[in-house]
Amino acid sequence: MFPFRQLLVLFFTVPLIEIYLLIQVGSVIGAVPTVVLVVFTAVLGAGLLRLQGFATLARVQAMLARGQVPAIEVMEGAVLLVAGVLLLTPGFFTDAIGFLCLIPWLRRKLILWAIRRGVAVAGGAGGGPAPREHGPRTLEGDYWEDDERR
């Protein structure tokens, strides 16, 4: 994931960017409108996040009903969680990143990029064998009917 130095840089630069943007916007539109705008973006972001979360949950349930593994959708849920934290953090920079995470095609592209770079693993974190790419698998086994259930 992130080495300690990169995380430390994030913890210092993001608040500085937020403070700078809040001061700049406040000097243009005033203090009260800036506070109202920050609260408005948080409320709007929470509403959009709720809609996106329910849509992702519906996709997860549909895939599970079809017997498929919803790996990408679960990762989308994680990105939505991060988006929610960013949107509820006061400031314009974190709101912009949070709103970008709410765009479905951009979110999916980010997830696929993370999978290709090895930042995220789709299909579970277990170290099991990789799925076979060629053709369906045939599982052989025995079965019996339990007469007591009838």
Is the pLDDT confidence value at 16 over 90?
yes
pTM value? 0.72
* pLDDT, tens only, 96-150: 999 999 999 999 999 999 888 877 665 544 444 445 556 677 777 777 777 766 5
Q: Is-contact 124 93, C-beta < 8 A? A: no
